[in-house]
C-alpha cells in the first residue's frame, strides 16, 4: 500500500492531467458486472501519459494489471489491492489510412477502442474481414492479447502490426508474424506488453453486403447466446477433441445455480449473472461444473476467464 501511495504521488506530480481513481469499483469495468474496488486505477489518454504511468510503476516495482473492456475478466469481491491501467482518450480512436500501392486500405485502432465499434466502422467504410468481431464485447488491445475470435474468424487474421509499450514505458512494434498467435493467446498474454495501437489490412466490399453478413451473425448470437444477462462470454477453454458447452449440457448442468450465478439455460458454455451474483458465487459454480464434468466424462475443463484478486 505504501508503494501505491508513492506511485499516486509521483504520477500526480510528474504527469499533470492524468486521471487517477482510488478504490474504483471494478464492477463498472467488467461485462460480468462483478468485482470490488481497485486500490488505484490510471486512465491514460495519450501515449505520453501511458509511458509515464508504466515507467513510474516500473521504477517503484509496482506490477500493473492491463485492463481492456473487462469482457474476459472476473474480479474478486474484495477487489484488487494493486494498480490497474485502462486506456482512454486517443487510444479509443479508429482511423482510415490512404491505400498503399497494392490498393488494400489500412485501418488503425487504439488499444482501447471497442472491437465491435471497429467492426462497424469498417463496414461503414466498405471494408470486409472483421464481421466476426461485431458481437465481441472486448477492446482491440484485449482482443489481440488473447487472439479473440468467433465464427471461424480471429483477430490475428487481418492484423499487420502491433504497437506496444513494455513495462518500462518504451514503445515496440511487432509484425503479426512475430506475435506467436495461437488459440486464445499471443506473445502479449504474459502481461509484459501493453497493446496501444494496431494496424489492419482489410479488403474493399459493398457495405450493404458486409452489413448483411454482420446481421446474420448477430441473429445467430441472439438465438444461441444469453446476451440478456451479464457474463464474460465462454467460461471455459475448448478441451482438445471436445466442446465445453456440449460436455456441460451432456452432464445435465444447464440452469445449475450458485447464488446469483447460473449456467445459462440457453448456452451451457456461459455462466451468467442473474442478478446480484458475486465472484464467490461464480467460482463455486465453476467448481461444481468442473467436478461434475470430470466425474461423468473424464474431461478436465479449464477456465478461459481470468480471475483478478
Residue 190: phi and psi, rounded to 5, are: -75, -10
Q: Residue 234 catalytic?
A: yes
- What is the helix, strand, coil percentage profile of the chain, to 5? 35, 30, 35
> Which residue in 10, 21, 45, 184 is the catalytic one?
184
C-beta of residue 39 within 8 angstroms of C-beta of residue 79: yes
**Which of 108, 116, 234, 264 is the catalytic position?**
234
Q: How far apart are CA 48 and CA 28, in angstroms?
A: 26
Q: How many residues does the chain have?
A: 309
Nearest alpha carbon to residue 118 among 144, 97, 139: 139
Whether 292 sits among the annotated catalytic residues: the reply is no
Q: Which residues contact 284 (CB under 8 A, 6 or more apart)?
A: 258, 259, 261
Please identify which of the residues 6, 19, 92, 304 carries the catalytic annotation: 304
Question: How is residue 264 written as a grid cell?
Answer: 445459462
- Catalytic (active site) residue 304: yes
The catalytic site residues sit at 184, 234, 304
Amino acid at each position: 500500500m505504501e508503494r501505491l501511495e508513492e506511485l499516486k504521488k509521483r504520477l500526480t506530480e510528474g504527469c499533470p492531467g492524468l486521471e487517477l481513481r482510488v478504490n474504483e469499483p471494478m464492477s463498472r469495468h467488467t461485462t460480468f458486472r462483478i468485482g470490488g474496488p481497485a486500490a488505484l486505477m490510471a486512465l491514460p489518454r495519450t501515449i505520453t501519459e501511458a509511458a509515464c504511468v508504466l515507467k513510474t510503476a516500473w521504477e517503484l516495482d509496482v506490477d500493473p494489471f492491463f485492463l481492456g473492456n473487462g469482457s474476459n475478466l472476473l474480479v474478486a469481491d474484495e477487489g484488487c489491492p494493486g494498480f490497474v491501467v485502462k486506456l482512454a482518450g486517443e487510444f479509443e480512436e479508429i482511423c482510415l489510412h490512404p491505400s498503399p500501392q497494392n490498393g488494400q486500405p489500412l485501418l488503425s485502432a487504439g488499444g482501447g477502442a471497442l472491437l465491435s465499434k471497429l467492426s462497424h466502422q469498417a463496414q461503414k467504410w466498405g471494408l470486409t474481414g472483421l464481421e466476426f468481431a461485431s458481437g465481441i464485447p472486448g477492446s482491440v488491445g484485449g482482443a489481440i492479447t488473447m487472439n479473440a475470435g468467433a465464427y471461424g474468424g480471429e483477430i490475428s487474421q487481418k492484423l499487420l502490426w502491433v504497437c506496444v509499450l513494455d513495462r518500462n514505458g518504451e514503445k515496440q512494434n511487432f509484425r503479426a508474424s512475430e506475435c506467436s498467435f495461437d488459440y486464445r493467446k499471443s506473445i502479449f498474454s504474459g502481461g509484459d506488453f501493453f497493446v496501444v495501437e494496431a494496424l489492419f489490412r482489410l479488403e474493399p466490399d459493398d457495405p450493404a453486403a458486409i452489413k448483411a453478413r454482420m446481421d446474420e451473425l448477430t441473429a445467430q448470437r441472439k438465438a444461441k447466446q444469453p446476451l440478456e444477462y451479464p457474463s464474460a462470454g465462454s467460461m471455459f477453454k475448448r478441451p482438445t477433441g471436445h466442446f465445453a458447452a456440449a460436455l456441460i449440457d451432456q452432464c445435465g448442468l444447464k440452469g445449475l445455480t450458485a447464488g446469483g450465478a447460473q449456467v445459462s439455460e440457453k448456452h451451457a458454455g456461459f455462466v451468467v449473472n442473474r442478478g446480484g451474483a458475486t465472484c464467490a458465487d461464480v467460482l463455486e459454480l465453476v467448481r461444481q461444473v468442473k467436478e461434475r464434468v470430470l466425474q461423468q466424462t473424464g474431461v478436465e475443463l479449464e477456465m478461459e476467464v481470468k480471475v483478478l484478486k
